[in-house]
A and B are shown apart, each in its own frame.
Chain A
Amino acid sequence: MASLDDLKKRISSVKSTQKITKAMKMVAAAKLRRAQESAEKGRPYSDKMNNIILNLSGGISDIENAPKLLSGTGEDKIHLCVVMTSDRGLCGGFNTNIIKKAKLYFQKILDEGKTLKIITVGSKGYDQLKRVYGDNIIERISFKESKNVNYFDADKVGKTVIEKFENKEFDVCVIFYNQFKNVITQIPQEQQIIPLKTTDEETNSSDDNYEFEPEEDEILSNLLPKNISTQIFKAMLENSASEQGSRMSAMDNATRNAGEMVDKLTIEYNRSRQAAITKELIEIISGAESL
């Protein structure tokens, strides 16, 4: 059994760790509220954007001349995966879940003999992917400096993706992120953004005749790149809310575990203290008896 001094040291070290995890939980909770708010506020924009695009693409009669961002290159050989993770650790399974989902997809692509290219957003994703898929990573982006998620960062990522698309560097683009459901549940998502997958449910709502100014094609070719930035922005917002939620519950668990550990150690400490006292007493009594 460990000595009394050792136990004392361990108890105080667990206690100070508990203080740190508790503080992190508080910070995450405060940040989560903000992140959740901005994720909710950001929804109207992306929803509206989606609606307009649906209305537009429904009206396009000439599929063959439709912009490539909408219809794709017609091939399916090179896949670009944008894996969005956090820049900081200590957030439970947040990063691991995205990576797991992404790796499954990577494996599928490689098994089919297609080429895989990866862009990592956030440094944690790069750290986890570089060992196995280091050669596939063509770019890594990190927004460590910017405090809050903002549209201009998302726009940067979007522009990078579009530039690569225009240079014909890939055919299909998929983004990976965590969708925020609630504090304990975040669902890793894969979403294809190029070519755009239109959900068919609403396409028939576009029988209204719109007046377009300038021409329909021009609007569409201008709107699609914006939509990509918007989708990425949405993913970033969801991701940051998920990250804080995940960190909050992870830190909550850690605090609780530390509490349990302190209890256990305290009991052990008290027991061995008692044992030492009893031992001393026995020694004194038996010493007195022998006199």
Chain B
Amino acid sequence: MSEEYSLEIVNPERSFLLKDDVTEVVVPAYEGEIGILKDHISIISFLKPGIIKVFSKSGEDSYYVNDGIIEFKNNNLSILTSLILNLKDIDKGKISEIQKSAEEELGNSEISDQEKYLLDQKIEVLKSIN
């Protein structure tokens, strides 16, 4: 029996990635990383800033995401995100730019603890990439 399922990543501008030979996807869900294999139970969850790892027959890819929602159903995984970057051809300048704006936002005293937590996460991840 094959161990593959299909993955679709969409952002508002376009359908970012479509793959149907995925064996495992690790996503940075809100309450910790989740690895999704074939025949996982239907799940809806949120993403926090982090790295999505996609394992497929053709190799392994990593992407940075800002936020997102995942839905897994009938061996179809959909990831909706507002910002996604492929780590392979990433632009260092862009990363620093996002990091900078996140740090600026963190300096704003009016944000809630939850937002603070997310921003901290974001900065940490970005630092690790850079």
Q: Does A44 contact B31, Cβ atoms closer than 8 Å?
A: no
Of the stretches B12-20, B54-62, B91-99, B104-112, the one at the interface is B12-20
In the complex, what distance in Å separates the CA atom of A53 from the CA atom of B24?
25
**Chain A at the B interface: mostly helix, strand, loop or mixed?**
helix
Residues of B near A209 (CB, < 8 A) are: 42
Residues of B near A219 (CB, < 8 A) are: 44-46, 69
1/0 per residue, CB under 8 A from A, across B82-121: the answer is 1000000000000000000000000000000000000000
1/0 per residue, CB under 8 A from B, across A185-229: the answer is 000000000000000000000001111111000010011001000
Neighbour of B46 across the interface among A49, A150, A214, CB < 8 A: A214
**Chain B at the A interface: mostly helix, strand, loop or mixed?**
strand
- Which chain A residues in 135-190 approach chain B with CB under 8 Å? 150-151, 154-155
Q: Does A208 contact B73, Cβ atoms closer than 8 Å?
A: yes
Residues of B near A46 (CB, < 8 A) are: 12
Q: Does A151 contact B31, Cβ atoms closer than 8 Å?
A: no
Q: Does B14 contact A41, Cβ atoms closer than 8 Å?
A: yes
A233 close to chain B: CB less than 8 A: yes
A92 close to chain B: CB less than 8 A: no
In the complex, what distance in Å separates the CA atom of A212 from the CA atom of B42?
9
Q: Does B69 contact A223, Cβ atoms closer than 8 Å?
A: yes
Interface size on A, residues (CB 8 A): 29
Neighbour of A212 across the interface among B8, B11, B44, CB < 8 A: B44
Residues of B near A131 (CB, < 8 A) are: none
B65 close to chain A: CB less than 8 A: no
Q: Does A151 contact B69, Cβ atoms closer than 8 Å?
A: no
Residues of B near A51 (CB, < 8 A) are: 71
1/0 per residue, CB under 8 A from A, across B36-72: the answer is 0000011111100000000000000000000001010
Neighbour of B41 across the interface among A56, A150, A211, CB < 8 A: A211
Q: Does A214 contact B43, Cβ atoms closer than 8 Å?
A: no
In the complex, what distance in Å separates the CA atom of A274 from the CA atom of B60?
81
A9 close to chain B: CB less than 8 A: no
1/0 per residue, CB under 8 A from B, across A56-85: the answer is 100000000000000000000000000000
Residues of A near B78 (CB, < 8 A) are: 48
B123 close to chain A: CB less than 8 A: no
CB distance from B67 to the nearest CB of A (A): 8
Most B C-beta atoms less than 10 A away, residue of A38, A52, A155, A208: A52
B7 close to chain A: CB less than 8 A: no
Residues of A near B82 (CB, < 8 A) are: 151, 155, 226
CB distance from B16 to the nearest CB of A (A): 10
Report A's interface with B, CB cutoff 8 A. 38, 41-42, 44-46, 48-49, 51-52, 55-56, 150-151, 154-155, 208-214, 219, 222-223, 226, 230, 233
Which 3 A-B pairs give the minimum distances between C-beta atoms?
A: A41-B14, A151-B12, A211-B43
Q: What are 23 A-B contacts with C-beta separation under 8 Å?
A: A41-B15, A42-B12, A44-B10, A45-B10, A45-B12, A48-B78, A51-B71, A52-B69, A55-B71, A151-B12, A151-B13, A209-B42, A210-B42, A211-B41, A211-B43, A212-B44, A213-B43, A213-B45, A214-B31, A214-B46, A219-B69, A230-B12, A233-B12
Task: Given A151-B12, A214-B46, output 19 extra A-B contacts at Cβ < 8 Å.
Answer: A41-B14, A45-B10, A46-B12, A49-B69, A49-B80, A55-B44, A150-B13, A208-B42, A210-B43, A211-B44, A213-B34, A213-B45, A213-B46, A214-B31, A214-B45, A219-B44, A219-B69, A226-B69, A226-B82
Report B's interface with A, CB cutoff 8 A. 8, 10-15, 29-31, 34, 41-46, 69, 71, 73, 78, 80, 82
